Chains A and B, each alone.
Chain A
Amino acid sequence: DTAVSQTPKYLVTQMGNDKSIKCEQNLGHDTMYWYKQDSKKFLKIMFSYNNKELIINETVPNRFSPKSPDKAHLNLHINSLELGDSAVYFCASSQAPGAGVVEQYFGPGTRLTVT
């Protein structure tokens, strides 16, 4: 069974559109994350939820809105897509508490291409 899954794997869309990426984990973890990996492979955290509560909200444009309906799911909705949003988006999960002391398990990634 896949521990952390994401859909879709690839997403190609035009500027100005709105799109969502879904993430699910079956590890029983309390904490989930969204990371963005740009073309230079730089991996940067965007958001983190602990048991459905937002605990990390980096300086991300408010066109990005995460939603956690329960602790096993974390979705990312992006409004008015821009060219600069093109990247690979990774979902990850870990046991609570503390991102610094426990390992994170990453999903397979969603490659978003905005044309």
Chain B
Amino acid sequence: QQPVQSPQAVILREGEDAVINCSSSKALYSVHWYRQKHGEAPVFLMILLKGGEQKGHDKISASFNEKKQQSSLYLTASQLSYSGTYFCGTAGMEYGNKLVFGAGTILRVKS
């Protein structure tokens, strides 16, 4: 069963913040975040491993609550270049040796 992402879509103005959530019903040992721009390949943003570690990548950061099997991606002071579809990918024993992706969150940043 794939992880659930919310919201499905969000529209922001430049400079605004957004949070994208990813929730799994299965125990996880890692959560991955990827961004895909229209017509392009998904691009890796970050991995969060079991341990509740928070990571950052420029003005994009993420957290992982392994007890709740949830991760959140935080985009601060959004830029036009942040537009795209954000996917979380989850890995855990019950998923086998593979990454299972959520349905994606479409983010559109307007000027």
Contact = CB atoms under 8 A, between A and B. Distances in A.
A56 B41 contact: no
Nearest to B92: A100
B28 to A, nearest CB: 8
A43 B32 contact: no
B99 A99 contact: yes
Interface residues of B, number: 24
A107 interface: yes
Contacts of B109: none
Interface string A19-53: 00000000000000000000011111100100000
B20 to A, nearest CB: 15
A98 B91 CA distance: 9
Interface string B60-91: 00000000000000000000000001010001
A108 B95 CA distance: 26
Contact of A56 (B43, B44, B96): B96
Contacts of B41: 90, 106-109
Given A99-B91, A100-B29, A100-B92, A45 B43 contact: no
Interface of B: 29-30, 32, 36, 40-44, 47, 49, 85, 87, 91-92, 95-101, 103-104
